[in-house]
Amino acid sequence: MNRTNGGPDGRGATVGTGPAGGTGTAGGTGTAGSTGTTAGVNLLGLRSHNTALVLDLLRTAGAEGISRLELAERTGLTPQAVSKITARLRADGLAADAGRRASTGGKPRTVLRLVPEAGHAVGVHLDRDELRAVLVDLDGTVVGERNTPLDLGAGADAVLTRVAGVVEELWAERDEIPREAPAAPVASAAPGEPGEPGEPGGPGGPEARGDGAAVRGRRRLSLLGAGIALPGPLDHARGVLHRVTGFPEWDGFPLRDALSRRLGVPVVVDKDTNAAALGLAVGGEGGSFAYLHLGTGLGAGLVIGGSVHRGPRTGAGEFGHQVLQLDGPRCGCGDRGCIEALCLGAVARGDTDEAARVLGTGAANLVGLLDIDRVLLGGRIVEAAPEAFVRGVREVLEARARRTGDTPVPVRIASGGGQGGGRDGGEGGHRESGQRVAEGAAQSVLAPVFGRGDG
């Protein structure tokens, strides 16, 4: 069902509604500036493209804030529309006064800022052998994190129980942190759903136990949703997994809907490489780039013109399964000579230089096909020998540039940790890459709130 909201505040965006965890414009492909809402859920009450524009400007202004006049000038909205939007955001606890600023005549202007703690999102990286989860606020700042071993082949019930338990732990930990403002109405359950006072999962109900009750209950109103990132291939639009390389038993599993029912909040499912690429783009990595992730597998996240590119069937980025050697070793996908099999085989033999050369050959193919601005590298294997991989990939790209007469495309290690801001410390590259994916998964929930259509 579609609904169009109208009114003097510019609420004229048409949004789609559907099953919980489904998507209107969020979760599909789109252009930056379109407002996505998770279908079936009143995501922050944001039914307005203009509200998203204002929220994004409040976020980018930081603690110093921004005046209503500046908001009107930068959005093109009338001062009356801005006043109505900001009044609603203040009533919801999403915006607050940040002081006054001198004006050129007249009384000082009141400036407003975003209240980051008014809403949160969970990001989860489901790798083949570990689970990393983060809780972030509206600024994308990490306020909680968990890391635990995981066997992706343990079966759907075991994996979902583990995910729900970790999310509950994060949310319960956040409940103990004092907040500046009341929780905003950022999500709502249908009448009669778990989470009502006195019901299982409601206030005073059971603690975290892996069935989602604690998330649906205590302070559920300030949790926007959960982003889940894992190896592909998968259908991002429907949240359904395909034949995850090495784990064919997941083929056809509706992960988005299954987890949404457990947690009682909207869920977005995407490939780990796309989540990392989104996090990098939101964090300021501009233009067009490819993020190549070499860990337990090999994949690519593609950002074209500032937006994550998934393709019409959301299958873009299966970089690791381009065939480089027709009679090469068997790959976990069933084909032979895939770049993933060649890279991981070289790593297993201890030949990092060969792995880097193979990765560079694949990167050169991407550069030739997409004419991207830069290549970014990540993943636990790359980050265990960053200089060797950057050097090897760069040599292949420079050799290609000499043949074509083009300027060599730069290559470097992707910046770590995204909006979390250097929380990786000295614990090594493995943590850094996992953190990047988890934070990017959280951004897939936050992005539509601030007007990005590629979340």
Q: Give the model's confidence band at 211: pLDDT under 50 very low, under 70 low, under 90 confident, else very high.
A: low
* CA distances for 210 relative to 161, 170, 174, angstroms: 5, 12, 17
Rounded distance between C-alpha atoms, residue 204 and residue 222, angstroms: 18
- What integer is the mean pLDDT of 392-403? 97
Where helices occur in 207-318 by DSSP H, the ranges are: 213-216, 255-263, 272-282
Cα Rg of the chain (Å, integer): 22
pLDDT value, residue 424: 36
C-alpha–C-alpha distance, residues 191 and 444, integer Å: 27
Q: Which is higher by pLDDT, 32 or 233?
A: 233
Q: pLDDT of 47-65, one tens digit each?
A: 478 999 999 999 999 999 9
pLDDT of residue 176: 58
Q: Who wins on pLDDT, 327 or 431?
A: 327
Tens-digit pLDDT profile for residues 234-243 = 999 999 999 8
Predicted local distance difference test score (pLDDT) of residue 393: 98
Confidence (pLDDT) at 165: 96
Query: What pLDDT does residue 18 have?
Result: 33
Kindly report the average pLDDT of the chain as a whole number. Answer: 81
pLDDT for the residue numbered 11:
37
pLDDT greater than 80 at residue 371: yes
Instruction: Over range 194-203, report the average pLDDT.
Output: 31
Residue 226 has pLDDT above 50, yes or no: yes
- Please tell me the predicted confidence (pLDDT) of residue 100: 85
Reported as a pLDDT band with limits 50, 70 and 90, residue 454 is: confident
User: At 175, is the pLDDT very low, low, confident or very high (cuts 50, 70, 90)?
Assistant: low
Mean pLDDT of 201-213: 44
Q: How confident is the model at residue 99 (pLDDT cuts 50, 70, 90)?
A: confident
**C-alpha 261, offset from chain centre:** 20
Residue 266: the pLDDT is: 96
Instruction: Give Dmax (Cα) for the chain.
Output: 77
Band of residue 182 on the pLDDT scale cut at 50, 70, 90: very low
What is the four-CA torsion angle of 133, 138, 141, 147, rounded to 10 degrees? -10
Q: 48 or 89: whose pLDDT is higher?
A: 89
Contact 253, 239 (CB under 8 A): no
Mean pLDDT across the stretch 330-356?
Answer: 96
Per-residue pLDDT tens digits for 259-280 = 999 999 999 999 999 999 999 9
Q: How far is CA 81 from CA 51, 109, 395, in A?
A: 10, 17, 54
Give the residue, 181 or 298, on which the prediction is more confident: 298
What pLDDT score was predicted for residue 415? 83
* Per-residue confidence (pLDDT) for residue 6, from 0 to 100: 36
Query: Which pLDDT value is given to residue 426?
Result: 36
